[in-house]
C-alpha cells in the first residue's frame, strides 16, 4: 500500500471535490432526503464554502487524488461565538476507504487549524454513519450537542 500524502488544494481541485462529494453524499443522508435534494444541498455547501475563508485539503495516494476535506476557518461556534475550525465535508474514494485516508485528512486539517491559531475543531456527522463516528471518536472528538429530529 502506498502512503497517503495531504496537501492544500487550489482552484484546480474543486472539480475533484465536487465530483467525489456528489458520488459519496449518500453517506450524509438524513430525514429520508432523496438523492436530488442531497446533491442540491452539496452544491449549495460548495458555493457557500467557496465564498468565505476556507481550506481545501486533498489526499493523494500514488499521485492519485483519493479524498478531500473542506475546512471552514472563519465560522465561529454558533452558541459561544468562539473561533473554530469547522469540517464542512470530507470524502474518500470508495476504493480507498479503510486505508488511513480520512485519518490523514482529519489530522492535516487539525494541523492547518493550529497554524491559523484556531484552538477548537468542530464537525457534524449523521448518526447512521458509524464508520465516520468511530474515526472521530478515535481522534478524540466528543459529542458536545445533539440535534434531535422528529418526522411530522
Average model confidence (pLDDT) across the chain: 89
Contact 29, 68 (CB under 8 A): no
Residue 69 in domain: yes
pTM, full prediction? 0.89
Residue 104 in domain: yes
Domain membership of residue 115 as a residue range = 4-138
Residue 147 in domain: no
Mapped onto helix, strand or coil, the DSSP state of residue 61 is: strand
Residue 145 in domain: no
Residue 93 has pLDDT above 60, yes or no: yes
Residue 31 has pLDDT above 90, yes or no: no
Domain holding 34: CATH number?
3.40.630.30
- d(C-alpha 104, C-alpha 38), whole Å: 26
Angle at 97 between CA 91 and CA 98, to 5 degrees: 130
> For the segment 43-89, what is each residue's pLDDT rounded down to a tens digit?
999 999 999 999 999 999 988 999 999 999 988 888 888 889 999 99
Q: Report the domain count for the chain.
A: 1
Top-confidence residue, 11 or 68: 68
Residue 151 in domain: no
Residue 83 in domain: yes
pLDDT value at position 81? 82
Contact 132, 125 (CB under 8 A): yes
Amino acid at each position: 500500500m502506498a502512503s497517503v500524502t495531504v496537501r492544500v488544494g487550489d482552484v484546480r481541485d474543486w472539480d475533484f471535490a465536487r465530483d467525489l462529494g456528489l458520488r459519496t453524499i449518500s453517506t450524509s443522508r438524513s430525514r429520508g432526503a432523496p438523492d436530488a435534494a442531497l446533491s442540491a444541498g452539496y452544491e449549495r455547501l460548495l458555493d457557500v464554502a467557496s465564498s468565505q475563508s476556507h481550506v481545501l485539503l486533498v489526499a493523494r495516494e500514488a499521485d492519485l487524488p483519493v479524498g478531500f476535506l473542506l475546512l471552514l476557518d472563519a465560522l465561529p461556534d454558533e452558541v459561544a461565538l468562539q473561533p473554530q475550525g469547522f469540517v464542512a465535508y470530507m470524502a474518500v474514494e470508495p476504493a480507498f476507504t479503510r486505508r488511513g485516508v480520512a485519518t490523514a485528512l482529519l489530522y492535516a486539517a487539525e494541523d492547518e487549524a493550529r497554524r491559523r491559531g484556531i484552538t477548537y475543531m468542530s464537525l457534524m456527522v449523521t448518526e447512521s454513519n458509524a464508520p465516520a463516528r468511530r474515526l472521530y471518536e478515535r481522534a478524540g472528538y466528543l459529542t458536545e450537542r445533539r440535534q434531535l429530529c422528529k418526522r411530522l
